[in-house]
Structures are given as C-alpha cells and as structure tokens.
C-alpha cells in the first residue's frame, strides 16, 4: 500500500457500470456462459503478465455451488483491472495472480458477487481490497487512512468481529451459569447447616 494508485471514485464508478458480460454466469462444466480463465488470461496478457497453465487451471471451477461466487468475483476483478490506470502501470504478476486465485476466494466467503456492483460500500471494499493486494492505496490518501478505511469496510473483518462477539457472549453466559450454580450450592449448604 506504499505506492499511490488511481482515484477510488474512478474504480467504484467503473464497478457500478460493470457490463452485462462480466455479470453473466461463469462457465462451470457444461453450465454458464463466460469462461473466467480465458477472460483472466486475456487480461493478464494485456497487462504484460504471463499466466502459466497452473494459474489458468486454478481459475476453472468444478463445483457450481462452491465455485460460482468465487468465479463471478474473479470476473469483476478482471473488469476492475482492465481500467486504463492498471494498463499504464506495471503490476506485479504474482500479486495479480494471487488476487485472482486467493483474493477472490476470500471475498467469496463473505459476500455475494452481485453486491460488489450494487452496494456502494461493497464496491469501495472491492476497489480498496484489490488496490491493497496489488500494493497500492487510493490517490490522495495516506497509508494509515487507506488501511483504516479498508478495515472498517472489510466483510471479513466484520465477520471476525461478529464471531468474536458471539464467543465473548458465550463465555459470559457460561460464567453467569457457573456463578448461579455456585450461589445455589452455597445457599443449599447454608440451609442444610441451619
């Protein structure tokens, strides 16, 4: 995130205007329309990145229920990275491939792909997440501002906080039950002594 990237508004506007082809059903087996691996390979070539066979294979799906959202997000990432700013700047190949393979999977665990187009906060999250994974921050922001905003928008961070909150509530409930049980036992002991 040390290098300054494009304006955030440019990227979120681009996501809001995602063409239908990038919103179409990803091809998984015999179903779907868009071959995500081919789109990603074409984009990588345009960016001057060589995708190995293994990289392309990682973008194929086998299980529609498990892979559909991940591949749909990969298509959105392809649309986002097709912005002219990325074409003009040399992107690190490993970071782009990592974004396609693992970044899309991480996002798919938390959010349905359509929300990255329809919801303004999710558009901003996708843009910031992508920039951060590529080593950039939005133009005009400091590293601290960019990191803080990404953390506040992060669906994964929100899920982590909710899970931690549930765990804390469960611990508190267990403690209350243990204290109530101990108080009942002490009351019973006192009653027996009298």
Same domain, 102 and 165: no
In which domain, by residue range, is 184 found?
156-194
Show the tokens assigned to 109.
């665990």
Q: Angle at Cα 143 formed by Cα 12 and Cα 97, nearest 5°?
A: 60
Selected residue with higher pLDDT from 82 and 187: 82
Q: Are residues 143 and 182 in the same domain?
A: no
Burial readout 147-181 (b: 16 or more C-beta within 10 A, e: otherwise): eebbeebbbeeeeeeeeeeeeeeeeeeeeeeeeee
pLDDT for the residue numbered 53: 83
Q: What pLDDT digit, counting tens, does each position of 105-123 carry?
A: 999 998 999 999 999 999 9
Distance between CA atoms of residues 152 and 154, nearest Å: 6
Q: For 84-109, write each residue's pLDDT tens digit.
A: 999 999 899 999 999 998 999 999 99
pTM listed for this prediction: 0.79
Q: What is the mean predicted confidence (pLDDT) over 6-30?
A: 94
Same domain membership, residue 99 and residue 167? no
pLDDT in tens, 55-73: 888 788 778 888 999 999 9
Same-domain status, 93 and 130: yes
Do 37 and 114 fall within a single domain?
yes
- Considering the chain, what percentage of its residues have pLDDT values greater than 70? 91
Structural domain total, the chain: 2
Which tens digit of pLDDT belongs to each residue from 44-55?
A: 999 999 888 888
């Amino acid at each position: 995130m040390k290098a300054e990237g494009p304006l955030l508004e440019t990227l979120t506007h681009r996501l809001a205007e995602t063409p239908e082809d990038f919103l179409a059903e990803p091809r998984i087996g015999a179903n779907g329309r868009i071959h995500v691996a081919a789109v990603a390979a074409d984009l990588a070539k345009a960016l001057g990145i060589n995708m190995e066979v293994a990289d392309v294979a990682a973008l194929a799906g086998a299980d529609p229920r498990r892979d559909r959202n991940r591949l749909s997000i990969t298509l959105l990432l392809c649309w986002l990275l097709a912005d002219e700013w990325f074409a003009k700047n040399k992107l690190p190949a490993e970071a782009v491939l990592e974004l396609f393979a693992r970044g899309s999977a991480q996002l798919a665990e938390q959010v349905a792909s359509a929300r990255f187009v329809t919801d303004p906060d999710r558009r901003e999250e996708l843009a910031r997440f992508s920039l951060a994974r590529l080593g950039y921050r939005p133009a005009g922001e400091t590293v601290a501002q960019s990191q803080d905003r990404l953390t506040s928008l992060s669906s994964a961070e929100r899920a982590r906080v909710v899970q931690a909150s549930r765990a804390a509530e469960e611990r508190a409930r267990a403690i209350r039950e243990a204290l109530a049980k101990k108080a009942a036992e002490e009351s019973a002991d006192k009653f027996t002594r009298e």
